[in-house]
Chain A
Amino acid sequence: MATWVGGLFLGTAIAYTLAAALYLVSLVRGAEGKGRFAAPVLMAAATLHIAYLAVDTLAHTTPMQGIAQTLTFLSLGIVLAFLLARLRGKGIDILGAFLTPVALLFLMGAGVGRSVDAVSPDVRSALLPVHIGVNALGIIAFALAFGAATAYVIQERMLRRKKLGGIFQRLPPLDVLDNFGLRAVSLGFPLLTVGIVSGVFWVDPVESFDISPMHGFALAAWVLFAGVLLLRMAAGWRGRRAAIGTIMGFLCALGVLVGYVMRDTGVS
C-alpha cells in the first residue's frame, strides 16, 4: 500500500508540474499549440490526486487531520474549484497558469509535511475537522482570487506601459478578473472568519493568546481581505488596489500554512 501511495503522490506531482508548464506555454505562446493540452492534463492530474487521496485515506489516518492531509486536500480543492469555475466561462481558462503552480506548491508542502502529521492530542477536539475544513475552503477561494488578482496586476501594468504583446492578448478582460476576484474573496472571507474564530476559541485554547507568527499571518490575512471588501463597498476601491490587497492577503494565508508545515516538521 505504501508504494502505491508514494507512486500516486509522485504521479500527481508530475502531472501538476506538466499541467503548470503547459499553462505557462499557452500563456506565452497561445492556447492553440501545445497549451491546448493543459486543461486535459490538469483533469488527469486531479483524477490521480483523487486516487492518491483515496488510497492514502485507506492506508492512513482520516483526512483533514494534520497539515499534510490538509495541504493535499487544499491543492485538490483549488484545482477542482478552478475546473468548475472554468465550466462557466472559457474566458478564465488561462488563470490555470497562476493556479496550477499554487496547487503544486501545496502538494509539495504536503510532501514535506508528510513525515510528521500527527496532531498533538491536547489540541484534538471534535471541532478540529470543522476548523481545518472551513479554513481550507477559505484558502481555496483566496487562491482563486489570487490567480485572478495576479493576472489583473500583470495585465493592468502591460496596458499602462502599452505593451500589448502575447501574454496581454491571452489574459481575460480586466473587468472579468476583477469580478471573479471579488466573488472569490467575498466567498472566502466569511470562511476565513469562522476559521480564525474557531481556531482561537475552540480548537487551540492552550495557545490562543500567545501570538505566534502563524496567528499574526492569519490576522494580517483577515485584515487585508476585510480591507479589500470594505473599501470596495465604502469607497468603490477596485482594480489594481483591490488586486494587490488580494495578493498580499493570500500570501499571508500562505504564511500560516508554511508556519504549520514548519511546526509539524519540527523546523521551528
Chain B
Amino acid sequence: MAKELVLVGLSHHTAPLELREKLAVDGDAREALLKRWSEGVAGEGVVISTCNRVELYATTDDTLSAEQRARALLEARLTDDERKSLEGSLYIHGGEAAIRHLFRVASSLDSMVVGEPQILGQVKEAFDAAKSAGTMGSLLGRCFSRSFAVAKRVRTETGIAEGTVSVSSIASQLAKKIFGELKGRKVLLLGAGEMGEAAAKSLANTGAVLRVVNRSPEKARKVAAECGGEPRGYEQLASEMVQADVVISSTSSDRFVLTTELMKDVLRGRRHRPIFLIDIAVPRDVDPRVGSMESVFLFDVDDLQEVAQENLAQRRQAALAAERIVDIEVAEIEAWRRTLDLTPTIVALRERFAEVVHGEIARSAKKMDLSDKDRKALERMGDAVVKKILHQPLAALKKSAGDPENAAMIAATRALFDLGKPSEYPPAPERAPGSGKLVPDES
C-alpha cells in the first residue's frame, strides 16, 4: 500500500493571529520541526509557515496516528490555554483534499487577499526547507512542484492577480500610471488622518519626496516625522502645490481647501505639468470642478473605493476560473497517484517472468551450443510469449486502478507470484511536451 497524504494546519480562516504567530516556524525552527516529524516514521514532511498559516504536509502509512503526532508537535509549542483554542482551529485533510488544499494555497486562492503574489514564494521556501532537512520525498516532491505549476497557470490564465485592492496601494499604482517612476517625484500631504498618512507613506516608500502641510505647524512636524517627510508652513501651500506631482488631501476642513481659484493659479505656475490630486477627506477638500481642469487628475474616496471594489469583484470572478484549473490539476495528479500502488507490482511481475524465461534460455543455449544470433532470436520469442501471457492480467490490474478491489488484486498478484512487498514509489511521470496530459508511465 502506498503512503497516504495528510495535512494538518491552521490559517487566518480558522485561527486568530495570536495563535498563528505562536506556531509560525522559520529557518532553524522549521528544520527542527521537520526532523522531529520524520524521526522514526521515515515519512515525508513539508511545513508551510507564513503570518497567515502554518501547515504540515506529510506522508504516512497510518493517517490517524500521523494526525495525532502532528497535533502533538504543534501543541508542544503552546501553553495550556492556547491548546484549548487550537482544538477548534486545526483542519485536517487527507489524500485528494490535502492536494487540493495545497494547490489552492499556492495559487493564492486561500489567501487573505486573494491573488496576492507572496504566497507562492513562501510555498517554494517551504519546499526548499524540506529538501535541505531531508524530509522531501517523491510523493510530496511531486505534489509541491505540481503546485508551483498550478499557481503559474492560475496566474497567467486568470486575472486573479490583477488590480490592487487597498486605497493606499491604488493611489500609488495610479501615481505610477501617470508619472512612471516615482523616484524623486514630489508628494504633498495636506492635513493628517490615518488613510492619508498610509497613502503618503506608501508613496514615500517608492522613493518619492514627501512634504507635509498642515494648519498647525506642530502637527505638520509630527506627521512629517512619522511618514518620513519634511514639514512646510501653511502659507506655502500654493507654492508647494506648484512643485508637487501628487497631492494627498485629508484635512478636517468643512469647506473646499483646494478651490478652483487656487488651482487656476497653481496650474498657471505649473505650466501644464500633470498633477494627481487624491482627496480622501470627508467632507471633500477639493472642489470637484477641479477634476475637469486640463492636466489635473482628481480621485476622491469614492473613486478609489470603487476601483478597489471593481478589482475585488474581478478577482472573485477570476477565482472561479482558478478553481476550475485546480479541479483539473487535482484530477490529473490523482490519476497518477492511483497508479502508484500498481506500477511497482506490474514492474515486478514483468521482471519475474523475464527472469525465468531468460534463465531457461541461457541454460538451454549452453547445452545446445547455440550461436549468439539464434540465442537472441530465442530471447525475443521468449519476451513475446511473456508479453502475450501477461497482457490480460495486466490489463485487468490497470483497469481496477482506483477501485476498492484494486488493493486486494495487487495483494493477490504479489502473493501468487511471490513478489514481496513494494519498495519505493516509481519515478513521477513527466508531462509530454504540449499535450498537457500526464504520460502514463506504463504502456
Contact = CB atoms under 8 A, between A and B. Distances in A.
Interface of A: 30, 32-33, 91, 155, 159-160, 162, 164-166, 168-169, 172-176, 235-241
Nearest to B299: A162
13 contacts: A30-B162, A159-B178, A162-B299, A162-B306, A164-B307, A164-B310, A166-B162, A169-B162, A173-B179, A174-B180, A236-B272, A238-B273, A239-B274
A32 B180 contact: no
A236 B272 CA distance: 6
A175 B180 contact: yes
A174 B179 contact: yes
A239 B179 contact: no
A236 B273 contact: yes
The contact size tier of chain B is 20 to 34
A91 to B, nearest CB: 8
Contacts of B43: none
Contact of B177 (A159, A160, A162, A237): A159
Contacts of A164: 163, 174, 307, 310
Contacts of A155: 177
A33 B297 contact: no
Nearest to B178: A174
Given A162-B299, A241-B272, 10 more contacts: A30-B162, A164-B310, A166-B162, A168-B177, A169-B162, A169-B163, A174-B180, A175-B180, A238-B273, A238-B295
Interface in B273-323: 273-274, 291, 294-295, 297, 299, 303, 306-307, 310
Contacts of B178: 159, 173-175
Contact of B156 (A33, A165, A166, A241): A33
A62 to B, nearest CB: 43
Contacts of B366: none
B179 A240 contact: no
Interface string B382-411: 000000000000000000000000000000
A175 B272 contact: no
A174 B177 contact: yes
> Nearest 5 pairs between A and B by C-beta?
A236-B271, A173-B180, A32-B156, A175-B180, A176-B180
Interface of A is mostly: helix
B360 interface: no
B272 A173 contact: no
A166 B158 CA distance: 12
Contacts of A32: 155-156
Contacts of B306: 162
A159 B273 contact: no
Contacts of A175: 178-180, 274
A72 to B, nearest CB: 35
A240 B294 contact: yes
Contacts of A240: 294-295
Nearest to B180: A173
A239 B303 contact: no
Contacts of A166: 159, 162
Given A235-B271, A235-B272, A173 B295 contact: no
B176 interface: yes
A165 B314 CA distance: 10
Nearest to B175: A173
B157 interface: yes
Contacts of B310: 164-165
A239 B271 CA distance: 11
A236 B268 CA distance: 10
Contacts of B303: 162
B292 to A, nearest CB: 8
B275 to A, nearest CB: 11
Contacts of B299: 162
A160 B176 contact: no
Interface in B29-55: none
Nearest to B303: A162
A28 to B, nearest CB: 12
A194 B309 CA distance: 54
B177 A173 contact: yes
A169 B314 CA distance: 13
Given A174-B178, A235-B271, A160 B162 contact: no
Nearest to B304: A162
Nearest to B276: A159
Nearest to B170: A164
A239 B272 contact: yes
Nearest to B176: A173
A36 to B, nearest CB: 9
Nearest to A172: B180
Contacts of B159: 30, 166
A111 B5 CA distance: 65
A257 B402 CA distance: 70
A162 B307 contact: yes
